Each structure stands twice: as structure tokens, then as C-alpha cells.
Amino acid sequence: MFPLQRGRRLRVNESIRSLVRETSLSPSDFMFPMFIAEGENVKVEIPSMPGIFRRSIDLTVEEVKELYDLGIRAVNIYVKVSENLKDNTGKEAWNSNGLMQQAIRAIKAACPEMIVMPDVALDPYSIYGHDGIIKDGDVENDSTVDALVKMAVSHAEAGADFVAPSDMMDGRVLRLREGLDAAGFQNVGIMSYSAKYASAFYGPFRDALDSAPKEADVVVPKDKKTYQMDYANRIEAIKEALSDVEEGADMVMVKPGIAYLDIVREIKNTVHVPVTVYQVSGEYAMIKAASERGWLDHDKIMMEQLMCIKRSGANLISTYFAKEAAILLNK
């Protein structure tokens, strides 16, 4: 018999398509990653990320207010640290008057309802560009975790709502939870980068913060593959996410985004906490470059990718498109 069920009946026009649409996007689905620089009235575009800037704290605050007015409710913040403040201990990371701590206080003072999630990792503070302390030619796990606890507590003291460890050290979520609780910050959450892959998609981000691994006069790893995940692995990602939840993570993250949606769905089906997906700098840069050449329709491909990330199971999407997408959605 010729089909009684015709799928096209539900695709006849936009009104019908919107009635049966399974996934929707809103500005509150987005978190905006922001880069913060020293000084005042500083706004420097990142060449490999058109439309994304390193801003001084005063201009960051103004941007945060605009984001909030658009309906965006979370920012993930990173700092560009002066070279003279970098060493192998990362001690500037827990300076109570450091750039990150000043930025958190300023944002929360100007826009108290904005959720601030500062990055917790030592690479912006490291003379070697690694996420931890170098010892005997590798990133030493446990001493790095001790440093991360000091860093996270200093963020909480400055007013952070969540801390966002992106380092991929073993056991760090448990130690962060213990450290935050011991300091009286039981209500400060942890959004853990649980499945962070050793990806080539991070290049523009490392340009923004000068956080790529560097050659040195001592033996250091040439890349971050001894702690970030092998992109050939799937089951390992599930194990990492489950471990972080058991250690106290309130949210877990998959990074990068669009090429890892199978991992997002696996983790979403496994854990019972919100799942964040980071649509990273390389993914952003590729869309910008292709659309500038007329090879792709910028807004259409932007919204398609964001919708696909949400469809895969993301509760929150960290994306450099957050502001552009929110403006489009609000129209």
C-alpha cells in the first residue's frame, strides 16, 4: 500500500515545522568566553578570531552588561597574563589582586546576576605554556592540583559562581570540592572540563592567550597529549565524566564541540548532571573564514551548528557566537 504516513505533511510550512520542532535555542543556552587584558580602554581584536577581542576590565564590564541585556546568563573568563608574571609555579594564579580576581569582582559588582565561571588551569601563568607544574620533563599531577585548589579558592573569594577546571589533572575535582568547602564556599559550583580532547581546534585560543606549549631550556612535553584525551577514544570520555561527577562536579563539559557530538550524546545518556559543550576557537574561525570568502552563509551555518550541539544533548553551549546568535534569536 502506498504510504499512509507521509513525513512531508509535518514540513509543509514554517508554522507546522515550528509546532513539531524537537529542539529549540534561546540566548540562555549560551555562555560567552571572554578574554581579559591588563590596562584601561583596551580592545584588541584577535587576528585568528574575527569579532573576538581581548578587553581590559572596564570594557569587559560594559560587554557583560550588553550580553545580559540580550539574555545571555553566563560568561567563561580567561586572562592574558604579562610575561613577567609567569613562572613554573603559577603563583600569580591565586594572587588576590590578580587580573582574574579583579575581573571577577568587577563583573559581579556591575552585573550581579551574570554567572561568572573563571577558567582554572595554569597555562596562562606558565612560562612553559602547560596546564600544570613541570617536573622531571612532564606535568606533575599532584602538585598541580594543589596549585589549582589555591586558584579556585581565590576565584571564589572574588565572587565566582562556578569554577571551571580545564587542566585535565587526575583527582582535581575532588580536591577542588574539598578545598572550596573547607574555605566556606559550599555553594560555589564546579563545571569540570571532563572530556577535553587533545585537539588541533584550539589554535586560535592559544594565540589569544599565548598559552601554547613553548620550547624551554629544560625538558618539557612538546604538546598536551599526556593529560588531554586521545581523540580516538570514546569509552574513556564516559569514564572521565563519571569520575568527575563522583568527585563532586556539578556540570561536565565536552570540548571541542561539533566534531564530538557522539561523545556529547554518550555522556548525556550516562550522567545526571547538566552537560556543557564548548564550540571552540578553531570551529569559530573556520566558519568566519569560509563565510568571509562566500563559501558558507554565516548566519545559517552558525545557527545550524548551535542547534545540532543542543540537539546532541547540551544543556549549555560555550560559544564565541553567543552574542551574534542571541541578537539573531531576539529578532
Q: Report the distance separating Cα 299 and Cα 102, nearest Å.
A: 35
How many Cβ atoms from other residues are within 10 Å of residue 235's Cβ? Answer: 8
- Is it true that the peptide bond before 33 is cis, omega within 30 degrees of 0? no
Measured distance between the N- and C-terminal CA atoms of the chain, rounded to whole angstroms:
45
**Catalytic-role residue among 86, 108, 196, 323:** 196
Burial of 250 (0-12, 13-18, 19+ CB in 10 A): middle
Pairing of β 53-56 and β 43-45 = antiparallel
Beta-carbon contacts of residue 88 (< 8 Å; ≥ 6 apart) = 126, 127, 128, 133, 134
Angle of helix 322-330 versus helix 298-312 axis, rounded to 10: 100
CB 114 within 8 A of CB 69: no
DSSP 172-239: HHHHHHHHHHHTT-TT-EEEEEEEEB--GGGHHHHHHHT-S----SS---SSSTTTSBPTT-SHHHHH
CB 89 within 8 A of CB 44: no
> Among this protein's residues, is 255 annotated catalytic?
yes
> Among this protein's residues, is 80 annotated catalytic?
no
Question: Which of 59, 63, 68 shows the shortest CA–CA distance to 37?
Answer: 59
**Catalytic-role residue among 86, 224, 255, 310:** 255
Q: Report the distance separating Cα 88 and Cα 177, nearest Å.
A: 24
Q: Where are the alpha helices (DSSP H) in 71-183?
A: 99-110, 141-158, 172-182
Side-chain-facing half-sphere of 267: CA atoms under 13 Å: 34
- Residues with a catalytic annotation lie at 196, 255
